[in-house]
A and B are shown apart, each in its own frame.
Chain A
Amino acid sequence: MDINEEPVNLKKLRTRLAESQGRQYWRSLEELADTEEFQEFLHREFPQQASEWTDRVSRRNFLKLMGASLALAGLTACSGQVPEKIVPYVEAPEEVVPGKPLFFATAMPLGGYATGVLVQSTLGRPTKIEGNPDHPASLGATDPFAQASILTLYDPDRSKTVINAGSVSSWEDFLDDLQPQLEQQRANSGAGLRILTETITSPTLTNQLETLLAEFPLATWHQYEPINRDNVYAGSQLAFGEPVEPIYRFDQADVILSLDADFLLTLPGRVRYARDFADKRRVDESEVSNLNRLYAIESTPTITGASADHRLPLKASQIEGFARAIARELGVAVASRDEAALESVPANWIAAIARDLQAHQGASIVITGDHQPPIVHALVHAINDALGNVGQTVIYTDPVASNPANQTESLAELVAAMRDGQVELLLILGGNPVFNAPADLNFIEALNQVNFRVRLGLYEDETSEHCQWHIPESHYLEAWSDARAYDGTATIMQPLIEPLYDSRSAHEMLAALLGQADRPGHDIVREYWTNQNNAAEDFDTFWQTSLHDGYIVDTAFAPKTVALQLGFDDQSSAETVTAGLEIIFRPDPSIWDGRFANSGWLQELPKPLTKLTWDNAALISPITAEKLGLANNDLVDLDYRDQIVKAPIWLMPGHANDSITVYLGYGRTRAGVVGTGTGFNAYMLRTVDTPWFGSGLNIRRTGKQYQLASTQHHHSLDGRDLLRVGTVEQFGADPNFVQELDSHTEEVSLYPKFEYSENAWGMAVDLNACNGCNACVMACQAENNIPIVGKSQVLNGREMHWIRLDRYYQGEPANPETYHQPVMCMHCENAPCEVVCPVGATLHDHEGLNVMVYNRCIGTRYCSNNCPYKVRRFNFLQYTDLDSESLKLQRNPNVSVRSRGVMEKCTYCVQRISAARITAKKEGREIRDGEVVTACQAACPTKAIVFGNINDPDSQVAKLKASPLNYGMLTELNTNPRTTYLAKLRNPNPELTEEGN
């Protein structure tokens, strides 16, 4: 550990200095060298950082969270003007006004699919992501991934320099090294050149790849992404003879049958789907006849299942049997298979569902998940066809992916080629195949056969480790690019900031292969669109408009007419093995395929149903767990196809019996200080032929325990009327049934009421709309500079989220009803917290906000004890990372950063209220309804959260509060909460409820 032992490598130092942009200060040669030893030395120099936590496990976490970096690399953000012109979303002011944020439209790609976003830029640095109201996949809302992507931009662990064989190098050196390799490939027409990408929807990148393939005719472009749409394209191939992209119009559907599809959280277009779905469940003007009805048949419980009116757990392999039964019931000529699967389906279900679908021809949707095999997709296409839904609620277009080929096969081909020594130059653009390739491909071994391996990646990760060259990739907020949304709508992605580090975009990387090294991404993208813009229209106008709007008009794919090819059913379904348990692989609801593993926000985001943080688990139904003698936190060996992985057990009510779900993406070994070592790697069990589920899993107890950190330990309402639910029928019979639940509607007080003569801020949360997707939690964290605390602190109940999604179960654990309830500060008019604060650190302002005065808080925690809603959060330790320079750039300058010993809680985004007040004052008017939008409200895909002035009877929030469904939590305590809820209405099929389902 002695830092003097290793002689300073002067050559390396010069390289570092040469490549650094901007002014770089260094204190010693050791520091400049940035060796591991020196980092260690720095940690020891600041022992207060090195030993914050007391126990060993959490201390490691501390190092992960806080000691991430002292950001020795000089930030290059200040190194001059952005050379390309980017276009703000709103009217551009003459110049940047300090303190006044600007918004720029761009898009966040995930799995290739773009979600349109508006990025808030504060003095030149992107600070917050909002949805783009004009973008079809967003409609102004976002998902948690988009919200959290801002943190990835500033992640101190992002790769900062070009690495060659583990040592710091430079782009120039890389080009020098690449040149002879390229010459060689050019000589043999690229026979040894392979390019591996993730799903590509970017027109520019596709064009570049095509150009490249034209130049190197024998080269091959492979695509692999662990969460792909292979089955969707294969299913439509089966049904229609060509791959198509199904797009659903939930706003037109009255009856929906979901066959293991989590369309609210994991399908491309999920944000739009969630909005459309919620719009059909709102109770407007006491009108309930138009409420849709959702049947969810699913293996792994999802928030889609939780939103369903009827939910049935069924093993993933049995979904096909169910689909066949429905199809046959609807008169589609398909064979009946796997009748045994239907034994667990209540007798009249299939008939009743079929009748309901039949009754809503052209206004129903049958949908299946991306992980169901092609035959199920084909069956669903046939059913939708039979119901006349095609062209109405189900629309087919050309595939959004530029190359809809089967990705698993594509990767297998690449591996075979590599193993045969055919590959000489491999370029891996993004992705992380070393980590997430199917285990049986043995990707690493094959990869090592390749002579020259180049990797472009955001992080120096598992794949980079096995490549000679690692080139830092620019974050989507740093680079020019383009991408298509779920419906094909293209967006030109403009950067919000010059790359923080010496990074390149995929476009620039490919340009280098095309002999156009150092061609700016801006020029590449612009050139492509210049060529596309054949219309007479002035290109500059087109460019400006497209950038401004965040999408290119009329780029959504046109509906496509396809003909169902009968006879697809002749191909038998693949799965026949039934022995043992079934294993199901799913993308993680927080860290997706593992790419977000190093995002502390997403790691600490409680997963929608399990409320687990920082880990994945083997999810198992309570009945199966009982059968196997397993309990929560039991560490088991998952033995599947000769691969063994240790995983902790988590009981998941409503899970299909005899199957186990594992979320992918965990168990990273080189994710960064936050993500490395969290959870177990489920990719180790995934094989080429069972990418999503398969049977034959064995479970063995190890006798050990592994502590999982869940943020909610009690799942029942315990007879309390905190969350109120009724049925449409009940509501129809007595619209005031929710009000009648309240025994204490009368407000009794010895004291006179305070008058709020101006604005009186209040919030209404529509439980009918809320599906528990977590976007609000993430948005709040990003907006309000909320720190993460680490697993050991979560275990101790110290998570800091200002808004939490309470999840309650009702009914049998085998298949319970699941409810979500967002709970943030209620801003009680008679706030119990305020009365007990000894120093007046929490008070009411003149508009009825319950405000926190951080500077005044001495941290007695009395307010939290006395809060019946337990929405206050306390900085038990110094949670906020005050040392990492790059993280400072992300913080919202309008929100105080809290230090240890201070209580905090939801403020109703008081900074946004202030901003609106200032604007209104300058314009000499009142604040308009809808002018103040809280962060959670803005992010909510379903518009479940409505905020506004309750003094104004015309405001949206006042109207909601006038609804007969409106109720307050714990009103009998006379707290008079400003946040109220709209009771949830379920719309069960009378045919099925009579049977007691």
Chain B
Amino acid sequence: MQAGRFKKSGQLESPAPILAPGYTYHSITEKISTIVLSKAAPKSWLLGLVISFMLLVVFLYSVGYLFMMGVGIWGINIPVGWGFAIISFVWWIGIGHAGTLISAILLLFRQNWRTSINRFAEAMTIFAVACAGLFPLIHMGRPWLAYYIFPYPNNLGLWPQFRSPLVWDAFAIGTYGTVSFIFWFVGLIPDLASLRDRAENKFVRYFYGLLALGWRGSAGHWHRFDTAYLLLAALATPLVVSVHSIVSFDFAISVIPGWHTTVFPPYFVAGAIFSGFAMVLTLLIPLRKIYKLEDFITMRHLDNMAKIMLATGLIVAYGYMTESFTAWYSGSLFERFWLFNRSFGPFGVVFWTLMLLNVVVPQALWSSRVRATPLLLFVISILINIGMWIERFVIIVVSLHRDYLPSSWGLYSGTIWDWLTFIGTIGLFLTLIFLFIRVLPMVSIFEMRHLLTETNNHEGTAISEEQPSTNVVETPTTGVAHGEGSLYGLMAEFNEAGDLLEKTRETYQAGYRKISAYSPFPIEGLSEAMGKRRTLLPLLVFLGGVAGALGAFFLQYYAAVIDYPLNVGGRPFNSWPSFIIITFEITILASAGVAALGMLLLNKLPMLYHPVFNAPRFKRASQDKFFLCIQTKDRKFDVAETRQFLESLQPTEIVMVEK
């Protein structure tokens, strides 16, 4: 079970599998969807939800009191104007990094092992970003005016001040949240279709049916889906890097010693991934145990994540070294004092705790034995989570509490309300996580099916539980009576993805054009086998991006130079370097929006009714069976002749599909 380890002979031991052997399309589907569809939830889930919900109530109470009284209930003061709220904000944003990294970057790098954890990590990202996003809102002195930060036409002619990193933040986090959500939701659609088709309760079926938008899993669907998914991954990748870079600008742009540091962007990003993976581990290790997902989330996953943590942890440690070195080497009195004060000032203990948790503890991950012990990994991941929170405390509080004028130095400590608010957001986060694992599949089912075909245990013969009954042709009882007018087409069912691809190709070669193929996961080449051209989607996404870029830059230019030029800190009206960030964010946001919407629209989704749903066994198209349909619209279509042709393809079944 020990992954990637050299034996004495020097031969590489084969790594643990990323999916335990013995699974079929059906068993995968069943195992994952049962968690969602079963009537009874595990007791541990209910207990977890109740506790989380109670913490959520604590959050609501603290925020209610906060809104009533003002931010003075917190421990913040002058000089430490930001406290727990911004610490927690940065912490949550950091946690929100693992999801998109796993989904997008590992997808681009074709890392198969991401498949079983990406859904969960993405959900975690969205919830973490939601928690993070609350803090900038509630930490404002006058949160009811938070909308001032967004550009909207108003009769005062006032615009946001686009040079401020806080505006960049709003755009960066808004974009990140939106794109992550789009990415997550798009990835969920095929699984929602599976749940729709497996649900027994009518309301549950409607619920998932509505969310699935009429997904049928046709070759065209999958083709555009794949393109869109890949494009979204490509678009999300720079976002992963940019979001925490931009968060780091909140500090790096300032003039405060300890903040004004060029190393911040890469160091923040590494830290974010570090903490993001730590949080994924913290959550997944118990979950895989409770839901018995050890077959899907294997030791290989844990091992890989531990390695990424180790790598990013080292980058973070390097970041600490660099910032300290720069402070010392700068020769600046204030920077040097900051360095001294961080280590030996009133918060020295906090700093050394940070060093222990974020630099020393992760070194244990060099040991493969540690990496192979889930309990140890769990403990380490929690320590890293705490360490990363402390890191933000050190950056924010320690830098602020003693800056330039000794007369204004002060101290800071959180009040009970600081703690309750922070702990309350953990409640919000966990509540969302618990609801998510009950309502949505926490492992991507279709991708697992796909993975089955790619891992060594598929061998092209993932066996359907039902024995194939060759050429059993079911004559529709009402076939002739309905006549061709009410007939949509003839549909043949296959057991294997390879069969479908091959037979589709044959059908196309036989001259049929109005054909469609349905599969529970994307099959490479299927669309091409039907003679479909490349999709327009990439072009649309490019145009969307260009429009976003131009629009965003012009908006900022117009606001700052033409409509209401103001002298801000002696900067020129056209402070174009400051405008780049938002231009970039809107470019991504527009592209991603076009990618997702374009995919749906080109797929003519949502379309909640479609004739193929009438086929009695079509439900299996979203689970484990493969269907080929020749429509009556086809010029060559003739009920008898086409049926004969289909029979020649040796399907397991042929049905007539009513309109």
Contact = CB atoms under 8 A, between A and B. Distances in A.
A54 B415 contact: yes
Contacts of A969: 405
B560 to A, nearest CB: 10
Given A713-B410, A858-B140, A865 B256 contact: yes
Given A864-B79, A877-B69, 20 more contacts: A713-B410, A714-B406, A715-B406, A720-B406, A797-B80, A804-B407, A832-B254, A833-B569, A836-B163, A837-B164, A837-B568, A840-B159, A840-B568, A861-B141, A862-B166, A865-B81, A868-B405, A869-B408, A873-B78, A973-B255
Interface stretch (B12-20, B145-153, B467-475): B145-153
Interface in B73-115: 73, 75-82
Interface of A: 48, 52, 54, 712-720, 722, 749, 751-754, 793, 796-798, 804, 806-808, 821, 823, 828-840, 843-846, 856-862, 864-866, 868-870, 872-878, 900-903, 969-970, 973, 975-976
Contacts of B417: 54
B72 interface: yes
Most buried by A among B136, B142, B163, B253: B142
B635 interface: no
The 5 closest A-B CB pairs, nearest first, are A859-B141, A901-B141, A876-B72, A877-B72, A861-B81
Contacts of A970: 404
Interface string B417-430: 10000000000000
B410 A868 contact: no
A828 B571 CA distance: 12
A858 B571 CA distance: 22
B616 interface: no
A830 B575 CA distance: 14
A831 B142 contact: no
Contact of A864 (B70, B81, B158, B334): B81
Contact of A722 (B71, B158, B250, B405): B405
A125 B646 CA distance: 100
B71 A859 contact: yes
B174 interface: no
A839 B165 contact: no
Interface string B306-346: 00000000000000000000000000011001000000000
Interface residues of B, number: 62
Contacts of A859: 71, 140-142
Contact of B145 (A833, A835, A858, A861): A858
Contact of A834 (B149, B160, B407, B568): B568
B36 interface: no
B103 to A, nearest CB: 30
Interface of B: 68-73, 75-82, 136, 139-143, 145-146, 148-149, 158-161, 163-167, 170, 250, 253-256, 333-334, 337, 400, 403-411, 415-417, 566-572
Q: Name the residue among A719, A793, A798, A836 with the largest chain B CB count within 10 angstroms.
A: A836
Nearest to A832: B255
Contacts of A48: 68
17 contacts: A712-B407, A713-B409, A715-B406, A751-B572, A823-B407, A838-B166, A839-B158, A843-B568, A859-B71, A862-B82, A865-B256, A868-B255, A870-B405, A870-B408, A874-B141, A877-B72, A901-B142
B224 to A, nearest CB: 39
Scoring A796, A829, A846, A877 by chain B CB atoms within 10 A of each residue's CB, the highest score goes to A796
Contacts of B254: 832, 836, 865-866
Nearest to A866: B254
B75 A862 contact: no
Contacts of B572: 751-752
A297 B141 CA distance: 49
Nearest to A756: B567
A807 B149 contact: no
Contact of A870 (B75, B79, B164): B79
A796 B75 contact: yes
A502 B189 CA distance: 80
A751 B570 contact: yes
Given A836-B164, A843-B566, A874-B141, A54 B416 contact: yes
A764 to B, nearest CB: 19
A436 B571 CA distance: 59
A870 B403 contact: yes
A869 B568 contact: no
Nearest to A877: B72
Contacts of A872: 78
B70 A900 contact: yes
Contacts of A807: 407
Contacts of B77: 796-798, 876
A859 B141 CA distance: 4
Contacts of B76: 861, 876
Nearest to B167: A838
A868 B567 contact: no
A797 B166 contact: no
Contact of B146 (A717, A753, A808, A858): A858
Contacts of A873: 78
B408 A902 contact: no
A645 B499 CA distance: 98
A843 B160 CA distance: 12
B86 to A, nearest CB: 9
Contacts of B400: 865
B220 to A, nearest CB: 45
A857 B141 contact: yes
A973 B570 CA distance: 13
B449 to A, nearest CB: 47
Contacts of A754: 567, 570
Contacts of B403: 868, 870
A959 B440 CA distance: 74
A831 B141 contact: no
A776 B415 CA distance: 34
B329 to A, nearest CB: 17
B177 to A, nearest CB: 18
B293 to A, nearest CB: 43
A935 to B, nearest CB: 21
Contacts of A869: 404-405, 408
Contacts of B411: 713, 797
A835 B163 contact: yes
Nearest to A752: B572
Contact of B570 (A798, A830, A838, A845): A830
Given A54-B417, A901-B141, A902-B141, A878 B70 contact: yes
Nearest to B334: A720
B255 A901 contact: no
A858 B149 contact: yes
Given A722-B405, A859-B142, A835 B569 contact: yes
A808 B256 CA distance: 22
A413 B59 CA distance: 67
A57 B119 CA distance: 51
Contact of A840 (B146, B160, B409): B160
Output the residue of B70, B148, B256, B405 with the most chain A CB within 10 A: B405
A752 B571 CA distance: 8
A976 B570 contact: yes
Q: Which of A838, A874, A878, A903 has the most CB of B within 10 A?
A: A838
A612 to B, nearest CB: 15
A830 B571 CA distance: 7
Contact of B158 (A798, A836, A856): A856
A872 B256 CA distance: 15
Q: Which of B142, B143, B166, B569 gathers most chain A CB within 10 Å?
A: B569
Contacts of A749: 570
A699 B69 CA distance: 43
Nearest to A793: B72
A869 B411 CA distance: 17
Given A54-B416, A870-B79, A858 B568 contact: no
A396 B161 CA distance: 65
A951 to B, nearest CB: 16
